[in-house]
Chains A and B, each alone.
Chain A
Amino acid sequence: MDSIISAASVIAAGLSVGLAAIGPGIGQGNAAGQAVEGIARQPEAENKIRGTLLLSLAFMEALTIYGLVVALSLLFANPFTS
């Protein structure tokens, strides 16, 4: 394997996960903060809020996972090496 290609792939893999983690991180923080606020206002709604929060957190996490899939395909199934 060409060493330039492997170096570039490894750097790109790191960047793709790292950059993909920024947005969902901010989003998850916002969502969790709002959920805590909601629970503080209405403690009796805690169960409902928790369920919705977990579901939406998993949706946001999926965005990072797309970056991870790109990183994994660069590391383990690199299309540029033959």
Chain B
Amino acid sequence: MGALEEPWKLHVLRLLAVVSVPALVLAACGDDDDDAGSTTTGAPAEEQAVGGDITVFAAASLTDAFTELGTKFESEHPDASVEFNFGASSALREQILAGAPADVFASANTSNMDQVIDGGAASDPQDFVTNLLEIAVPAGNRAGVTGLDDFANADLLIGLCAAEVPCGEFGREALANAGVTPSIDTNEPDVRSLLTKIEAGDLDAGIVYVTDVMAAGDAVEGVEIPADDNVVATYRIAALTDAANPDAADAFVEFVLSDEGQEILQSYGFDGP
């Protein structure tokens, strides 16, 4: 039990962050001129010129990798400060289309980015990483899950992401590829809340990203999904049209695509684009 407690606390905190951020975003909607003029000096996007606050809306599965990326970015640009809003890409998409004050959007799939672009909120998206799916089970795998076939077992407690969010869409695709009709006990609103329930042993198995299994450390074990059934998630990133701080937004996107950024992302289990 002791080994489980630490990650649990972390994830509860994360859960709180995910839930409370939309409220903060709403609260911040009114004060656009808060940091106006702090960086728009007209200079070309030289690294030294980057400063001010940027807000990055990023898929929940990027939580750990982007947090480290943000810290590195801030240390390279001491005048800049990066804030994150992590959540389901589909929820972030809706917030952006509703006018939430974001500078960068990083989506866990292509369709949410496409909808943001169709809505005129972004242009010129770039693929920056790919991710694969993996079955996550609590440490010890008491239920003895060996593959996607076990998801049809009504005696097991099975969780998926909701069909409305990318990991739910991909997970269902993988199950369909394997010809399995799952016996689902819960459709979680995003991948981190699914992972939290698996870590705590409240679920026997769920389909998450490879990177989530890695991030969870000792609290969960991964069971591989064969390449024939697996689904490649392509992540896309773009600076937003209405970014309050476009220079810093572009610089952050460039940093994500740079060798240094890619190295950090790969250390969390992501593959190159």
Bound pair: A and B? Answer: no
Residues of A within 8 A of B (CB): none
